[in-house]
Amino acid sequence: MNTHSRTTLAAAAALLAAAGTLPGAAHAQSAVTLYGRVVAGVEYIDKIADPATGQAHSLTRAADNQWGTSMIGLRGKEDLGGGLSAVFNLEGGFSATKGTTGTAFFNRRSLVGLSSASWGTLMVGKNLFNSNDVWNIDPTGQQFMSSATLVRGRNWPGVNNLIEYTTPNFGGFTANVQVGLGEQTGSNKQLRNEGLSLAYAANDLEVRAMFNSRRDANGNYSDAYNYSRDAILGGTYRIGAAKLFAAYEAISAPDAVAGAPSKLKHGWLGVRYDVTPALTLIGAGYRVSANRGNGNATLLMVGADYYLSKRTFLYASLGGVNNSSTANYAADVTVNGPGAGASQRAVYFGMGHSF
């Protein structure tokens, strides 16, 4: 049994032991919260190459998740007494411009578990991989031009069949362990997901370290952008109106086919500057280097968020990617690149509302 599995089982035992000490009549208040966000706008991208012909064309389209995911969710908690609570979270992302989910309705989170201020939280179900927490150390908050772009969404996946444990906060330190069971009869490595994250936040400083692994149906690390090992270390520091960001990411896929990258080195720097309480300016630079002759690329972007109220905002982002002679990365992670050695530009703007 590996370290992640032992840690998760130990946490489960502690929480179940706590549950066993509760008085039988300890049923108190319960609460359910409905929350969500709707984001939509317009996007323009140039030089999108057709893989079949090699010809490049521009695209103007309605944009619904470029700034951030449109979502709706339910979060609930029941006090069981003795400091223990039953908790659940259901959350689904959707396209605001089409009104569709594309996959299962609760495609982001579907979790139930126990939570204790002393022992932490144990959940079972489906959740986003802990690598999604990179949004905390990404100056864009993981827009489509962000830390996700040059690794082609490697830090976006969700994990099915999940057992997850999160520690209490110890003086600013927290940790999270995730084990996604592959549920395959051949080997427990098939489609298995594992994750570990550590975080420290206090005053103006935040530091995060994340590691996760995703295996394919054969139990291999076969694709750097999908089935691989991923390690991220980064942080933020606020100086007055400016918040500074820096991070480094290393991805490995030792079972990748010949010619495909087996290693990616990815890093970024950025800043968010609060011009006024309502207006924030963003600037960021990202760079990736792939081995086996797959080249490197640099993504630069600037943006602005303007809040009309606490919950309603306008956004605009402009950026571009420059590829080396053997690289073909896109400025927006959802479209094809411009072709090896070419550059691509993108701009999107719109509005969002949270509730």
Q: How far apart are CA 114 and CA 84, in angstroms?
A: 7
Determine the structural domain holding residue 117 and report its residue range: 3-20+27-354
Given the structure tokens 């570990």, which residue do they identify?
Answer: 196
Contacts 24+ apart (CB under 8 A), 274-279: 274/241, 274/242, 275/241, 277/307, 278/306, 278/307, 278/308, 279/304, 279/305, 279/306, 279/307
Q: CB burial class (10 A; 0-12, 13-18, 19+) of residue 171?
A: exposed
Instruction: Determine the pLDDT at residue 28.
Output: 61
Percent over 90 (pLDDT), the chain: 86
Could you report the per-residue pLDDT of 118-173, keeping only the tens digit for each? Answer: 999 999 999 999 999 999 999 999 999 999 999 999 999 899 999 999 999 999 99
Residue 216 has pLDDT above 80, yes or no: yes
> What's 325's domain CATH number?
2.40.160.10
Question: Between β-strands 120-128 and 109-116, what pairing exists: parallel, antiparallel or unpaired?
Answer: antiparallel
DSSP strands (E only) in 253-342: 263-274, 279-290, 296-307, 312-323
Tell me how many domains the chain contains: 1
Instruction: Determine the pLDDT at residue 2.
Output: 52
- Which of 184, 176, 133 is closest to 160 using CA atoms? 184
Could you report the per-residue pLDDT of 281-340, keeping only the tens digit for each? Answer: 999 999 999 999 999 999 999 999 999 999 999 999 999 999 999 999 999 999 999 999
Could you report the per-residue pLDDT of 159-210, keeping only the tens digit for each? Answer: 999 999 999 999 999 999 999 999 888 788 999 999 999 999 999 999 999 9
